[in-house]
Structures are given as structure tokens and as C-alpha cells.
A and B are shown apart, each in its own frame.
Chain A
Amino acid sequence: NFMLTQPHSVSESPGKTVTISCTRSSGSIDNNFVQWCQQRPGSSPTIVIYEDSQRPSGVPDRFSGSIDSSSNSASLTISGLRTEDEADYYCQSFDSNYHWVFGGGTKVTVL
């Protein structure tokens, strides 16, 4: 099976842009869709990006997702950073049996 590797933490000031990477260890990142979950402290997760780059209704367009085949990675970009964006973010994809595989999570701190 493969692993999804994320940076442990990122931090930036309000109004700035942060990008979180998610690198797949084996197999192509294109093989299966990537989702991104946001988990605020003390809350259940919620999906902010699905199918690599799609936003569920209600998720601000400050959130965007992309795939880079050359680096075999997915990225979540949050622009116009706000204090409410401070949370843990997890990438998630599927293995060959459509089992969910999560990255280790990235803590986003808004300075």
C-alpha cells in the first residue's frame, strides 16, 4: 500500500496564502481522487476539497486543490488566510480496494 506524506505544520499571517503538500509514496497521484479534510480543534472533520480540486457548496473559494504529476503530489492552497482557517488539514485518497488512506495531517497556524 502507499503512504501520503504531509508537512507537520505551516504558519502564516492573516491575509496571506499557504499551500500544503501531500506526496504519494508509490503509484501515481492521478490513480485516485484526492480529498482534503479540515478539522478545527475539538470538532469533527469536514471535507473542503473533493475529487482533487472541487469545492463542496459552502466552502469559500479561498480554498483550492490541485494535482502535480511531476512531483506525484496534491496541494491544498488557502488564500486570504483568516483566523477561522486555523485547523488541522488531512489529505485523503483511495487504494486499489477503494479503502480510504489519510495523510498524517498538517497543522495550520494563523500568526
Chain B
Amino acid sequence: QVQLVQSGAEVKKPGASVRVSCKASGYTFTGYYIHWVRQAPGQGLQWVGRLHPNIGDTDYAQSFQGRVTLTRDTSITTAYMELSGLRSDDTAVYYCATIHDNGDYDDYWGQGTLVTVSS
């Protein structure tokens, strides 16, 4: 079965960087986009960006341009999100997700990774 398993919670100081991983299994990793979405405490969903694991093509939301980098390691079917210049308002749960639309439509989400930015 398809699974996305994310890395554990992180606590970072302002100005630092964080890297969150998303291990994919149960499907062809290089065949589908991986999206990243974040949710601040008590707030709504915000799209961060997407990565196509086959060619490494990336696209970022304007509000994260210059601070976020999406990468992947196809040998271990893992996608990464790195966010730099952390601020307190980056405190959020970060989700990875993949949508498979091949006639049937299925969405799969990771369990979320809490990133806390605090001095």
C-alpha cells in the first residue's frame, strides 16, 4: 500500500534551517509529483511547493521563494523540504502529499512534521 512517512518533530532557533524528509513506498516514486503543504497552529492549509521526482523539477509558492528548496533521492525514494531563515511564524505542521490520477483518483498524505521555531 502507498505510504508517505515523514521525519520527526524539530525545534529550531530563528534564522536556522530545517530539513524535513518524506519517505515514499508502495508506488513508482518517480511517476508522481510530491507536494508540500503547511498548517500553522489553529490555522488553515498553505501550499509550499511541488517536486517531480523523475527530473527533479520544482515549483514554489511565491511566499516561500528564496527560502525553500525541494529535493529528492530516488535511490531511497525520499523527498526533502528545506526551509531556511526560519522565523517564529514558520512554526507549523508540514505535510507531504502525492496525488495519483490514473482513472482512479487517490491522494496520499504523510503524517505531518511539527517544526517549532523558538529562541
Contacts and interface: CB of A to CB of B under 8 A. Distances in A.
Do these two chains interact? yes
B112 to A, nearest CB: 6
B18 interface: no
Interface of B: 35, 37, 44-47, 59, 61-62, 95, 97, 99, 101, 104-107, 109-112
Given A45-B95, A97-B59, A100-B35, A56 B107 contact: yes
A47 interface: yes
A46 B98 CA distance: 11
Contacts, number: 52
9 contacts: A45-B109, A51-B105, A56-B106, A57-B104, A57-B106, A99-B59, A100-B37, A101-B47, A102-B46
- Interface range on chain A: under 10, 10 to 19, 20 to 34, or 35 or more? 20 to 34
B106 A44 contact: no
- Chain B, interface SS category: strand
Q: Which of A47, A57, A98 has the most CB of B within 10 A?
A: A47
Nearest to A102: B45
Query: Which 10 A-B pairs have CB atoms at the shortest separation, nearest pair first?
Result: A100-B47, A44-B109, A105-B44, A47-B107, A102-B45, A56-B105, A104-B44, A50-B105, A90-B45, A44-B112
Interface of A: 1, 37, 39, 44-47, 50-51, 54, 56-57, 88, 90, 92, 97-105
B45 A105 contact: yes
A47 B35 CA distance: 14
Nearest to B61: A99
A104 B44 CA distance: 6
Given A44-B109, A50-B105, A57-B104, A102 B47 contact: yes
